Chain A
Amino acid sequence: MSSVSRPTTAEAGAANGPGSAGAGRPSPSPRARGLPVGAYPRYVAGRLAGAAVSLLAVLVTSFFLFRMIPGDPVKFMTGRRPVSAEQIAVYRREFGLDLPLWQQFTDYCGKALTGDLGTSYQFRAPVVDKITEALPNTLLLTGTAFVLYTALGVFLGTRSAWRHGGLGDRLHTGLALTLYSIPSFWLGLLLIIVLSVGVDPIPGLFPTGGMESGREEGFAHVVDVAHHLVLPVVTLVAVEYGQTLLVSRSALLDEMGGDYLTTARAKGLRDDLVRRRHAVPNALLPTVTLIFVNLGRTVAGVILVETVFSWPGLGGLFYQALSVPDLPLVQGLFFVFAAAVILMNTLADLLYPLFDPRVGR
C-alpha cells in the first residue's frame, strides 16, 4: 500500500549474473556514510503520513468491499431452521442492517476510531475479542516459521551464490524450487501420514493436529505446544524458504564481481569473511524488502496450513467470517491484516536508510 522507491521483490529476483553488477557500485560499506542533516526526519514524517493515509483508506474500503459479496448474513443465519418473520426483523435491528447504508458507515467509522470493531454476528462476541483470541496462535505459528525460513533461506541462498554452479548450489536451488511449488496442504497431509500416524518403520512422532492437548500446565504446556508446533512449522518452512533463498542468492550474485571484493580478498581476508562482511551487507536490500513483506503477511495467517493442522488461528477465522458473511468480523480481520502489512512496509521504509543511505535522501 505504501509507495516507496526501492527495488521490488520481482526486480531483485531477476538475477543478472555475477559479472554485471559490481561495476559502478559506490562504496563497499554504505553503513559508513551518514545522511545529510535533516533529511531523515523529513523522510520519516513522509512515510508515517503515507502509512496513516493508507490505514484510513483500508478502513473505508473494508466497509464497502465486503458489502459487495453476495449473500445476506441474516438469511444465512436464519436459514434452514424455524424462524418467524418477527425474529428476522429482530436480527436485522440487532445487527444494524435495517439502517440506511450511510448511517451504518458513520456508525462503523465512529466506533472504529474508538477501537471498537463491532460485534460478530455468528459468535455474538466483540470482534476485537475474537481477533485477540486467535492472533497469538497465528503469530506463534507464522512467527516461528518466518524466523526459520528466513534464516534458512538467507543462509543457503548466500552460500549457494558464493559457490554458484556447484553441486551444492544446484542441489539447494532445485530442492527449494521443488518444495516451493508443492501445495502446502498436500505436504501437510503427507507429513501427518508419515510423521504423525507413522508408516512402518517410521513411528508416529507428532500429534495429528491442534495446538495443545489441553491437559498440561506450566512448562509442560509449553513443551506440549512446541510438540504440536513442529509439523505445521516444518510445512511452512519447507514451502516458504525457497523464495528467500532465490532472492538472497540472486542479490548476492549481483555483487559477486565487485572490485571491492577483490580488494578484500587481496587484503588476505578469509573467504567466509569476504562474503559475510563485504558481499552480503551490500546484497541485503532486496532480501530485507522480502523479509518485511513476509513479516507483514505473518498476521494474515496461513489458511491452508491452519486448516490441515487444525491450528486455531486468524486464517480459519477469516474463512468462517467470509462464509456468512459476518460483516463486522470480516471487516475487522481485513483491517488488521492490511494494517500489519502497512506497518511492516513503513518499518522497512524507515530502516532502508540504515542499510543504504541513497534511500531517503
Chain B
Amino acid sequence: MSTHDQHGSGRTGTHPRRIRLLASAGAAALLLASGTAAPSASAAEDDKVLTVAVAQSVDSLSPFLAVRLLSTSIHRLTYEYLTNYDPEDNHVVPGLATKWKSSPDKLTWTYTIRSDSEWLDGQQATAKDAAWTFNKMMTDDGAATANGSFVTNFAEVTAPSPTQLVIRLKQPQATMTALDVPIVPRHVWEKVDDLSKFNNDKDFPVVGNGPFVLTDYKPDSYVRLKANKDFWRGAPKFDELVFRYYKDQDAAVAALRKGEVSFVSGSPSLTPAQSASLEDEENIHVNDAPGRRFYALATNPGARAKDGTKFGDGHPSLLDQRVRHALFMAVDRKAIVDKVFQGHAVEGEGYIPPRFPQYFFEPSADQKLAYAPTEAARLLDEAGYRTNADGKRLGRDGKPLNYRVLCHATDPNDKAVGKYLEEWWGELGISITLDCLDNVTDPWLAGEYDLAFDGWSVNPDPDFVLSIHTCDALPATPKDTGATDNFICDKTYDELYARQLAEYDPAKRADIVKQMQSRLYDLGYMNVMAYPNAVEAYRTDQIESITTMPSAAGNIYGQDGYWSWWSAVPAGSGDSSGGSSSTGAVIGIAAGAVVLVGLGVLFLVRRRATADDRE
C-alpha cells in the first residue's frame, strides 16, 4: 500500500496551514505583548490628567442645542455665563458680568462685562458677544432649541459698549441673575449657516473662554479638555480633564477600583451596594452628599386644560384633601430612607431640598403630616370612606378603593417604595395597582393615573420647579402638551408665584417661595417623601482635594458652575492614567504564556493525529 505517499501528500497539504496558524498566533501574541508600549507611552507624559467616568451620550456640543447634563456641564467648563453660583452657599457671583443692576421700573437690567476674559484665539470677550448670543436666540428658532425659555420675556438686548450689556424685559423677572446661557464668540458663530443642525464637534480646539478648552471628542468614547492657562479666575490645577465612557455602572466602579478613572458619579447616583463595596477600599473616598433632587408622590388632581376641558380618569376620592393627607400620613418616610435608600437620603419635608437652605421650607408642628397610621384611618372615616366587613375601605360608589400608582420600570426605588405602599395602605383597607412602565409619559400627560412617583432636580434658582405647578403651565387644550407637572392649578399658589417672580429682593423672594411651598404642602397633591443623596466616589491617590457644592457637604458631578473640576488638586504622586502602566510587564508575561500554550496545543494536535493514523 502506498500509505506513505498519502501521508506525504497529506502532510505537505497541511503544512503551510499550520505554519500560517503558528504565524498568526505569534502575531497575535506580539500584538498583545506590544500592548505594553501603549500605556507606557501615555504614562511618559507629565501632564496631570483627571479622568471622569460618564455614561450619558453627548446630544450636541453646540450651546444652542445641548440639553443633557453632560453636554451642558461641558459648556459650563468651556464658555462663560453672565453669572455663576458660589460653591459655598449657591448665592449668585460674577461670571462674564462683574456686576449688574436693575432700573427702578424693574424692566431694564444693565450688566457690566469684564474686560479680562479672552477667547482662545486671543480676541477679547465683550458685551457684543453676549448681545449677539441672546439676540440670536430671540430671532432664530434653531438657536432657541436648548435655552429659548430664558429669552421669552426679553424685549430687547443691546451692547452700547464692549463692557455694557442692556436687557429690556416685557415683565419684571427675578431670575435675571440666573441666566444659565453660555455666551459664544460672535466672530466664530456668525459664520454658521444653520444653527439647528450645527453640532460644534468637527473643529478642535473649540474657541471658548471658560476654565477648560474642548480639544477632542469621539462619540461614546471620550471627551477631552485641556486647562485654559489664561482663565481670568486662575488656571485649573489639572492639565487635562477627560470624560471617559462607561456605559455600565458596575464597570465604571471597577475602573475606579483599578485606577483607570479618578472619579465615578453613577447616574444619578452609586447604588448602596456599590458605595458599600467602595467604602473600605484604600485610596478611595465615597462622597455621600445631600442631593439636589426630591422624591415625591404626586396625586392626580383631575387633569384639565387651560380652556377648561377636563380629561383623564383620576380617582374622584383623591379630590378630597383629607384623603390625600391620610394617604401621606400612612407613609413611613423614615422607613423609606432606611430601607429603600439604605440611609443615603434625607426624610422629605417641603418641596425644595435642604441643600438650598435659603429656600428650604419645613412645615410647622401643627401643619406637619407626620407618620400616624391610626390618625390616617380616623381621617378617612371622617371623610366618609369607611371599611366594610372584609376590612376594605369603600368609595362613594360602594366599591373598594383601589388606586393605580404610576411607577418608572427603570427605577428600582419606585418598585421598592411601591411594595411598602401596598402594605401601609393595605392596612388602611386600600389596595393599589402598581403600573411600572418604561414610558410613563403617555398615561401621565393623559391624566390616566391616580398617584405617581415623581422627582425633580432643583436649580439654585427655583423658578422652574415652582412654575410647573401654576395654572399657566396647563396645556392649552387636551391635545397640547403643557409644562405642568401633574395638573395642579391653585389660585393662591399662582398669586404667590407671580409675586416672587417680580420680587428682586432675595430675602423677600425667598420668603414668598417658602409660602408657596407651604401652600403646596397643605394642598397635598405633591408629597415629598425623601431627598436622595448624591453618592459618588473618587481616588484620593489621584485627587488630593476637590470642591463640593455646597462646600461644607455637597456633590461634585453636575454642579452649577465649574468649581469641582476647576478646583481639583492632583495628588502628589497623582497619575490618573495609572494602573495600566504597572501592568506592562505582566502583559508581556501573559503574552509569553499564550504563545507557549498555543505551541503546546499545536504540538499535541500534531502528535495525536500521527498516533491515530490507521494502517
Which residues, 414 to 439 on B, are CB-close (under 8 Å) to A?
438-439
**Complex contacts, A78 vs chain B, CB 8 Å:** 481
**Complex contacts, A226 vs chain B, CB 8 Å:** 31-32, 35
B586 A123 Cβ-Cβ under 8 A: no
Measured in the bound complex, the distance between the Cα atoms of B614 and A337 in whole Å is 48
A211 B221 Cβ-Cβ under 8 A: yes
Which chain B residue has the least Cβ–Cβ distance from A122?
B59
**Complex contacts, B467 vs chain A, CB 8 Å:** 82
**Complex contacts, B144 vs chain A, CB 8 Å:** 87, 90
CB distance from B459 to the nearest CB of A (A): 10
Given contacts A123-B59, A208-B254, is CB(A84)–CB(B246) below 8 Å? no
Which chain B residue has the least Cβ–Cβ distance from A163?
B612
Candidates B1, B244, B247, B586; contact of A205 at CB < 8 Å: B586
A210 B244 Cβ-Cβ under 8 A: yes
B67 A227 Cβ-Cβ under 8 A: no
Candidates B3, B221, B258, B438; contact of A204 at CB < 8 Å: B258
Candidates B41, B148, B196, B483; contact of A216 at CB < 8 Å: B41
Is B515 engaged at the interface, CB distance under 8 Å to the other chain?
no
Measured in the bound complex, the distance between the Cα atoms of B258 and A199 in whole Å is 11
A312 B220 Cβ-Cβ under 8 A: yes
Is B374 engaged at the interface, CB distance under 8 Å to the other chain?
no
Measured in the bound complex, the distance between the Cα atoms of B258 and A203 in whole Å is 10
Candidates A90, A124, A215, A320; contact of B65 at CB < 8 Å: A124
Q: Size class of A's contact patch?
A: 35 or more
Is B441 engaged at the interface, CB distance under 8 Å to the other chain?
yes
Is B255 engaged at the interface, CB distance under 8 Å to the other chain?
yes
Given contacts A72-B441, A75-B481, is CB(A193)–CB(B10) below 8 Å? no
B255 A208 Cβ-Cβ under 8 A: yes
Is B34 engaged at the interface, CB distance under 8 Å to the other chain?
yes
Candidates B38, B251, B586; contact of A309 at CB < 8 Å: B251
B221 A265 Cβ-Cβ under 8 A: no
A320 B57 Cβ-Cβ under 8 A: yes
Is B37 engaged at the interface, CB distance under 8 Å to the other chain?
yes
Which residues, 283 to 325 on A, are CB-close (under 8 Å) to B?
306-310, 312, 316, 320, 323
Candidates A81, A82, A205; contact of B587 at CB < 8 Å: A205
**Complex contacts, A83 vs chain B, CB 8 Å:** 148-149, 483
Given contacts A193-B254, A312-B221, is CB(A214)–CB(B216) below 8 Å? yes
B245 A310 Cβ-Cβ under 8 A: yes
**Complex contacts, B3 vs chain A, CB 8 Å:** 268, 270
**Complex contacts, B553 vs chain A, CB 8 Å:** none
Which chain B residue has the least Cβ–Cβ distance from A125?
B199
**Complex contacts, A211 vs chain B, CB 8 Å:** 221
Is A107 engaged at the interface, CB distance under 8 Å to the other chain?
no
**Complex contacts, A227 vs chain B, CB 8 Å:** 32, 35, 38
Measured in the bound complex, the distance between the Cα atoms of B439 and A333 in whole Å is 21
A306 B481 Cβ-Cβ under 8 A: no
Candidates B7, B482, B580; contact of A85 at CB < 8 Å: B482
Candidates A87, A197, A212; contact of B254 at CB < 8 Å: A197
Is B2 engaged at the interface, CB distance under 8 Å to the other chain?
yes
Which chain B residue has the least Cβ–Cβ distance from A322?
B438
Is A2 engaged at the interface, CB distance under 8 Å to the other chain?
no
Is B123 engaged at the interface, CB distance under 8 Å to the other chain?
no
**Complex contacts, B613 vs chain A, CB 8 Å:** 270-272
B442 A268 Cβ-Cβ under 8 A: no
**Complex contacts, A307 vs chain B, CB 8 Å:** 247-248
**Complex contacts, B456 vs chain A, CB 8 Å:** 80
A198 B258 Cβ-Cβ under 8 A: yes
A207 B260 Cβ-Cβ under 8 A: yes
Candidates A79, A205, A224, A268; contact of B583 at CB < 8 Å: A205
A271 B612 Cβ-Cβ under 8 A: yes
CB distance from B493 to the nearest CB of A (A): 18
B38 A220 Cβ-Cβ under 8 A: yes
Which chain B residue has the least Cβ–Cβ distance from A215?
B42
**Complex contacts, B171 vs chain A, CB 8 Å:** none
Is B476 engaged at the interface, CB distance under 8 Å to the other chain?
yes
Which residues, 36 to 63 on A, are CB-close (under 8 Å) to B?
none
CB distance from B136 to the nearest CB of A (A): 15
B251 A209 Cβ-Cβ under 8 A: yes
Which residues, 193 to 226 on B, are CB-close (under 8 Å) to A?
196-197, 199, 216, 218-222, 224
Measured in the bound complex, the distance between the Cα atoms of B60 and A210 in whole Å is 20
B609 A212 Cβ-Cβ under 8 A: no
User: Hey, what's the 0/1 contact readout for B1-41 against A, CB within 8 Å counting as 1?
Assistant: 11100110010001000000000000000011011011101
**Complex contacts, B221 vs chain A, CB 8 Å:** 210-212, 214, 312
Which residues, 201 to 236 on A, are CB-close (under 8 Å) to B?
203-205, 207-216, 220, 222-224, 226-227, 230
**Complex contacts, B148 vs chain A, CB 8 Å:** 83-84, 87
Is A187 engaged at the interface, CB distance under 8 Å to the other chain?
no
B244 A70 Cβ-Cβ under 8 A: no
A82 B254 Cβ-Cβ under 8 A: no
Is A71 engaged at the interface, CB distance under 8 Å to the other chain?
yes
**Complex contacts, B7 vs chain A, CB 8 Å:** 270
B220 A316 Cβ-Cβ under 8 A: yes
A308 B248 Cβ-Cβ under 8 A: yes
User: Hey, what's the 0/1 contact readout for B251-273 against A, CB within 8 Å counting as 1?
Assistant: 11011011010000000000000
Measured in the bound complex, the distance between the Cα atoms of B247 and A70 in whole Å is 25
B10 A208 Cβ-Cβ under 8 A: no
CB distance from A333 to the nearest CB of B (A): 15
**Complex contacts, A316 vs chain B, CB 8 Å:** 220, 247
Is A179 engaged at the interface, CB distance under 8 Å to the other chain?
no
**Complex contacts, B37 vs chain A, CB 8 Å:** 220, 223
Measured in the bound complex, the distance between the Cα atoms of B37 and A212 in whole Å is 14
B251 A268 Cβ-Cβ under 8 A: no
**Complex contacts, A76 vs chain B, CB 8 Å:** 441
B38 A197 Cβ-Cβ under 8 A: no
**Complex contacts, A222 vs chain B, CB 8 Å:** 31
B609 A268 Cβ-Cβ under 8 A: no
CB distance from B594 to the nearest CB of A (A): 10
CB distance from B146 to the nearest CB of A (A): 9
**Complex contacts, B222 vs chain A, CB 8 Å:** 210, 214
**Complex contacts, B441 vs chain A, CB 8 Å:** 71-72, 75-76, 79
Candidates A88, A122, A216, A308; contact of B38 at CB < 8 Å: A216
Is B445 engaged at the interface, CB distance under 8 Å to the other chain?
yes
Given contacts A72-B442, A88-B481, A205-B583, is CB(A214)–CB(B218) below 8 Å? yes
Can you list 19 residue pairs at the A/B interface with Cβ under 8 Å?
A: A71-B441, A72-B481, A74-B481, A85-B481, A85-B482, A87-B149, A119-B197, A123-B59, A124-B59, A208-B258, A210-B244, A213-B42, A214-B222, A223-B31, A227-B32, A230-B32, A269-B6, A270-B3, A270-B613
Please give the residue numbers on chain A whose beta carbons come within 8 Å of chain B beta carbons, in ascending order: 70-72, 74-85, 87-88, 90, 94, 119, 122-125, 133-134, 185, 189, 192-193, 196-198, 203-205, 207-216, 220, 222-224, 226-227, 230, 265, 267-273, 306-310, 312, 316, 320, 323
Sample of 12 further A-B pairs with CB below 8 A, known A189-B254, A207-B260: A72-B442, A72-B481, A83-B483, A84-B148, A84-B152, A85-B481, A87-B148, A189-B250, A193-B254, A214-B222, A215-B42, A310-B251
- Of all A-B residue pairs in the complex, the 3 with the closest CB atoms, nearest first, are A312-B220, A82-B149, A208-B255
